[in-house]
Amino acid sequence: MDLIPELYRKEYGKMVTVLCSRFGMAYMDIAEDIVSDTFLSAAETWGMKGVPSNPVAWLYTVARNNALNYLKHDKVFEKRIRKDLIQGGERSFEMDIDLSGQNITDSQLQMLFAICHPSIPAESQVSLALRVLCGFTIDEIAQALLTSKGNINKRLFRAKEKLRAEEVEIAFPEGSAIGARLDTVLVCLYLLFNEGYYSASVDKVLRKDFCFEAMRLTYLLLGYPPTGKPGVYALMALMCFQASRFDARIDDSGELVLYEEQDTSRWNQELIDRGSHFFVQASGRGEISKYHLEAAIAWWHTHHVAEREKWENILRLYNQLLILEYSPIAALNRAYAFFRVYGKEKAIVEAEGLQLSGNLFYHSLLGELYTGVDKERARQHFVQALALAGSEAERVVLERKLSNNC
Partner 1 sequence: MKEFALIFRTSTPTEPAPQLTPAQLQEMMTSWSNWMGGIAARDMLADGGHRLGIRESKTVAPGNVVTDGPYTEVKEFINGYIVVKTQSVEEAVEIAKACPMLFGGGKVEVRPLVAPDDNS
Rounded CA separation 342/344 (Å): 7
In the bound state with partner 1, the residue whose beta carbon lies nearer, of 233 and 318, is 318
What span, in angstroms and rounded, lies between the C-alpha atoms of 47 and 131?
A: 26
**Is 213 buried (19+), middle (13-18) or exposed (0-12) by CB count in 10 A?**
buried
Could you tell me if 334 and 318 are in contact, meaning their C-beta atoms sit under 8 angstroms apart?
A: yes
Of 334, 363, 381, 401, the one binding partner 1 (CB under 8 A) is 334
C-alpha to C-alpha distance for 125 and 191, rounded to whole angstroms: 10
Contact between 141 and 16 (Cβ < 8 Å): no
Region from 55-63, 157-165, 216-224, 326-334 binding partner 1, contact rule CB under 8 A: 326-334
Start-to-end C-alpha separation, the chain? 45
Q: Which stretch binds partner 1 (CB under 8 A): 117-125, 229-237, 316-324, 395-403?
A: 316-324
Least separation in angstroms between CB 352 and partner 1: 10
148-207: contacts with partner 1 (CB under 8 A): none
**Coarse DSSP helix, strand, coil percentages of the chain, rounded to the nearest 5 percent:** 75, 0, 25
- Please tell me whether residue 319 binds partner 1 under the rule CB under 8 A: yes
Asked if residue 340 binds partner 1 (CB under 8 A), the reply is no
Nearer to partner 1, 72 or 346 (CB): 346
Residue from the set 47, 179, 223, 353 that interacts with partner 1 by CB under 8 A = 353
Please answer whether residues 244 and 269 qualify as being in contact, where contact means their C-beta atoms are separated by less than 8 angstroms. yes
Among 48, 76, 176, 326, binds partner 1 (CB under 8 A): 326
Minimum distance, C-beta of residue 359 to partner 1, in the bound complex (Å) = 13
95 binds partner 1 (CB under 8 A): no
Choices 137-145, 154-162, 202-210, 353-361; region in contact with partner 1 by CB under 8 A: 353-361
φ/ψ (deg, to 5) at 210: -60, -50
Angle formed at CA 320 by CA 260 and CA 236, multiple of 5 degrees:
70
**Residue range at the interface with partner 1 (CB under 8 A); choices 67-75, 83-91, 113-121, 334-342:** 334-342
Smaller CB separation from partner 1, 200 or 354:
354
Cα four-point dihedral sign 307, 312, 317, 323 = positive
Q: Which residues contact residue 145 at a Cβ distance below 8 angstroms, ignoring those fewer than 6 apart?
A: 127, 152, 195, 199
Fill in the per-residue mask, 295 to 314: x = in contact with partner 1 (CB under 8 A), - = not in contact: -----------------x--
Residues 250/257, Cβ–Cβ less than 8 Å: yes
Closer by beta carbon to partner 1, 143 or else 333: 333
3-class DSSP state of 250? strand
Does 323 engage in binding with partner 1 (CB under 8 A)? yes
Under the criterion CB under 8 A, does residue 247 sit at the interface with partner 1?
no
Choose the stretch contacting partner 1; rule: CB under 8 A; options: 182-190, 279-287, 319-327, 369-377: 319-327
Q: Min. distance of Cβ 326 from partner 1 in angstroms?
A: 4
Interface with partner 1, residue 355, by CB under 8 A: yes
243 torsion bin: left (phi>0), alpha (psi -120 to 50), beta (else): alpha
In terms of CB distance, is 95 or 354 closer to partner 1?
A: 354
Which residues are near partner 1 by CB under 8 A? 312, 315-316, 318-320, 322-323, 326, 330-331, 334-335, 338, 350, 353-355
